[in-house]
A and B are shown apart, each in its own frame.
Chain A
Amino acid sequence: MTLDAACLEYPNRRQGYDHDLYAWSNLHERKPVVWPTGKGVAVWVCIDLEWFPITPEDQPFRAPGHMQTAYPDYRHYTSREYGTRVGFYRLLDALAKANVVASVAVNGAVAERYPQVIADIVAAGHEIIAHSTDMNGTIATGLPEADERALIQHSLDALEKASGQRPRGWLSIARSQSWNTVRLLKEAGLDYSCDWVNDELPWRFNNGLINLPLNHELSDRQIVTVQQHSAESYAQQMTDAYDWLSREAKQSGGGRLLPLNVTPYILGLPYRIEAFERLIADLAARPDAWFARGDQIIEAWSASEG
């Protein structure tokens, strides 16, 4: 048995990455980032607000949380709708009670179908990040470039029409990109994407687009749905993360970022919401916490970048 010779050839074995998307850098050696009023930890709540067509498509792949049974999968269709009708409003109320702002990563279809939800987000002072068209709008290599470009445009247009503002940020479904995505997002006029989980502070792709990392390991999807921990354990883990980052910020003199990526149909359930409310209230009371929207974080980071 012999393996194809290509399996022992290493054409990209060189200093730096095996791609040209962005450059390497060690977070602990960068110029310290300064958050407004010298706060230690930027707390970035980012809620995914999604609409799942009852007719799932698998091209390029089926989105996490999508339909699972034979047609018609009323159980998952309505459970996801529950998130948008009920759970999302519990999350909005929790944020309002703590008097903090957040980002909401919204499918274009939500804006087209439920403009009232968009109005409520805008009225509360939250930011809207573009989150594809609907949950069939997945991106991966193999999706024709023209289709991907159209998908990005369609999402931005729908959200702009409903909210009055063109989103500055982008979150792909399942954070999945093709080889073209970074270029297409930049071409579409976006300032940042949230898909790359390789860092804990913003950084720039070589084409100038910013990545604001939305750590999937800290998401309710990962901790509650995938790893099957309780909402109380989730909140404990976020508190532990905050405490660690706060200590690092003090010791290094540089700001840190805690992304809280939450999902209405996961944390917005009656038996889980209290853990989230307590978490937000607890963090909002910390003297070194800066609750901020994604666009505010990249503004502050850009200002201290140069």
Chain B
Amino acid sequence: MPQTLNGDPGLYDFSPYRDRPRIIWPNGKTVAVWVAPNLEYYEIDPPANPHRKSWTKPHPDVVGYGHRDHSNRVSHWRMADAMSRHGFPGSVSLSVALCQHHPEVVADANARGWEFFSHGIYNTRYSYGMDEAQERQIIEDSIRTVKDATGQTIRGWLAPALTHTSRTLDLIAEYGLDYTCDLYHDDQVQAVKTATGDLASIPYSLEVNDHYGFFVYNMSPREYADALIRQYERLAVEGEKSGTVMCIPLHAYLIGQPHRIAAFEGVLEHIAADGRAWITRAGEIVDAWRAQQTGAAA
């Protein structure tokens, strides 16, 4: 159990970005690139969590709900086809209830060879305030639901709407999950301290997340594409010393809009043609890193 001492949540040891053991990616690649589409379901009338409101308007929040629904009617396929055209598999951050609501979307991702990890039951249900039994319930639900729908056993976790408790990481490690996408402290895979089990932190990204690009930094579609290419170029160079990780976290209802998708497809084309990228899925990145660690929890 991580101890919160003097404000430090106790997740990992400090390790400066210098003189680290060299991480080597397969075939001489310098940067592992993974794309993380968030396949989500937002409820139209969710129960209230006292710690966070789901919608800004009284239900139904027509624009908020409709915007997310665009993913599951239109833009998922637009985004996924662009990824497939350039050889990018997805590692899916999944609201697992999507397996019930729109199994067609989940089946499409599965058929493309994408990996699934849990992003909670719905993106309108938050972990804040859950007791341990409740949190176990959503982890067990996630494992069971994804297994039933896709045949895959989930290996990772991105907290629903990024809402945690201080026991989340211990619990997912106990259930045998291999990675968390919730920690943003590094550009390389890192070990996470947990009560039991080996857990890795794989770099996801807030900063180059399409949501941040468009609605925090207010980038135009072409500016966002440029930002992704700069992010890639720097990590590809730095990865010559020790393998780096670049994640591209996406939401189809954002990146799959007609004014954004062409610029984004240009990014995929650039990375695929470059030659330095190991274009793969989250699980393979964590496995390759794990194989290079000495000792159980490095």
Is the pairing of A and B real?
A: yes
Residues of A whose CB lies within 8 Å of any CB of B are 1-4, 6-10, 12-19, 24-28, 60-61, 140-142, 172, 174-179, 195-200, 213, 215-218, 226-229, 233, 236-238, 240-245, 248, 258
- Can you list 25 A-B pairs with a CB-CB distance of less than 8 A? A1-B131, A3-B49, A3-B130, A4-B47, A4-B50, A7-B126, A13-B100, A16-B101, A24-B101, A26-B74, A27-B77, A28-B77, A140-B57, A141-B60, A142-B58, A176-B61, A177-B60, A195-B62, A197-B63, A198-B69, A213-B66, A227-B214, A237-B259, A240-B260, A258-B258
Chain A contact residues: helix, strand, loop or mixed:
loop
Q: Are A245 and B58 in contact (CB under 8 A)?
A: no
CB proximity of B48 to chain A, nearest CB, Å = 8
Instruction: Give the residues in chain B near A236, CB-CB below 8 Å.
Output: 220, 222
Is B281 part of the contact surface with A, judged by Cβ < 8 Å? no
Instruction: Give the residues in chain A near B50, CB-CB below 8 Å.
Output: 4
Q: Are B221 and A237 in contact (CB under 8 A)?
A: yes
Q: Are B131 and A14 in contact (CB under 8 A)?
A: no
Closest 5 CB pairs of A and B: A198-B69, A241-B259, A241-B258, A198-B66, A237-B259
Instruction: Give the residues in chain A near B41, CB-CB below 8 Å.
Output: 18
Is B102 part of the contact surface with A, judged by Cβ < 8 Å? yes
Q: Are B221 and A7 in contact (CB under 8 A)?
A: no
Complex CA–CA separation, A13 to B97 (angstroms): 7
Q: Are B62 and A200 in contact (CB under 8 A)?
A: no
Q: Are A197 and B70 in contact (CB under 8 A)?
A: yes
Q: Which of B105-139 contact A (CB under 8 A)?
A: 121-122, 125-126, 128-131, 134, 137-138
Instruction: Give the residues in chain A near B94, CB-CB below 8 Å.
Output: none
Q: Are A18 and B57 in contact (CB under 8 A)?
A: no
Q: Which residue on A lies nearest to B222, using beta carbons? A: A236
CB proximity of A269 to chain B, nearest CB, Å = 19
Whether A238 touches B69, Cβ cut-off 8 Å, given contacts A1-B131, A200-B74, is: no
- Residue-wise interface mask of B (57-85) relative to A, using a CB-CB cutoff of 8 A (1 in contact, 0 not): 11111110111011011100110000000
Complex CA–CA separation, A146 to B107 (angstroms): 45
Whether A198 touches B70, Cβ cut-off 8 Å, given contacts A13-B100, A17-B101, A237-B221, is: yes
Is B182 part of the contact surface with A, judged by Cβ < 8 Å? no
Is B28 part of the contact surface with A, judged by Cβ < 8 Å? no
- Residue-wise interface mask of B (208-222) relative to A, using a CB-CB cutoff of 8 A (1 in contact, 0 not): 000000110010111
Complex CA–CA separation, A241 to B263 (angstroms): 10
CB proximity of B46 to chain A, nearest CB, Å = 8
Q: Which residue on A lies nearest to B215, using beta carbons? A: A227
Complex CA–CA separation, A217 to B72 (angstroms): 17
Residues of B whose CB lies within 8 Å of any CB of A are 41, 43-45, 47, 49-50, 57-63, 65-67, 69-70, 72-74, 77-78, 97, 100-104, 121-122, 125-126, 128-131, 134, 137-138, 214-215, 218, 220-222, 257-263
| CB contact between B70 and one of A4, A6, A199, A240 (< 8 Å): that residue | A199
Q: Are B125 and A237 in contact (CB under 8 A)?
A: no
Complex CA–CA separation, A2 to B51 (angstroms): 12
Complex CA–CA separation, A241 to B44 (angstroms): 28
| CB contact between B261 and one of A4, A216, A244 (< 8 Å): that residue | A244
CB proximity of A208 to chain B, nearest CB, Å = 18
Instruction: Give the residues in chain A near B129, CB-CB below 8 Å.
Output: 1-3, 7
Instruction: Give the residues in chain A near B259, CB-CB below 8 Å.
Output: 217-218, 237-238, 240-241, 244
Instruction: Give the residues in chain A near B66, CB-CB below 8 Å.
Output: 175, 195-198, 213
Complex CA–CA separation, A213 to B222 (angstroms): 25
Complex CA–CA separation, A82 to B43 (angstroms): 40
Q: Are A14 and B67 in contact (CB under 8 A)?
A: no
Q: Are A27 and B97 in contact (CB under 8 A)?
A: no
Q: Which residue on B lies nearest to A215, using beta carbons? A: B257
| CB contact between B100 and one of A2, A15, A196 (< 8 Å): that residue | A15
Complex CA–CA separation, A197 to B97 (angstroms): 22
Q: Which residue on B lies nearest to A257, using beta carbons? A: B258
Q: Are A7 and B63 in contact (CB under 8 A)?
A: no
Q: Are B59 and A141 in contact (CB under 8 A)?
A: yes
Complex CA–CA separation, A51 to B167 (angstroms): 53
Q: Are A8 and B138 in contact (CB under 8 A)?
A: yes
Complex CA–CA separation, A236 to B262 (angstroms): 12
Instruction: Give the residues in chain B near A15, CB-CB below 8 Å.
Output: 100-101, 103
Apart from A9-B47, A24-B101, 14 more pairs, CB < 8 Å: A4-B50, A7-B129, A8-B125, A13-B101, A14-B101, A19-B44, A197-B63, A199-B69, A218-B258, A227-B218, A229-B218, A229-B220, A237-B259, A244-B261
Complex CA–CA separation, A1 to B129 (angstroms): 6
Q: Are A7 and B49 in contact (CB under 8 A)?
A: yes
CB proximity of A205 to chain B, nearest CB, Å = 12
Q: Are B58 and A140 in contact (CB under 8 A)?
A: yes
Q: Which residue on A lies nearest to B43, using beta carbons? A: A18
Whether A8 touches B134, Cβ cut-off 8 Å, given contacts A13-B97, A177-B62, is: yes
Complex CA–CA separation, A56 to B165 (angstroms): 42
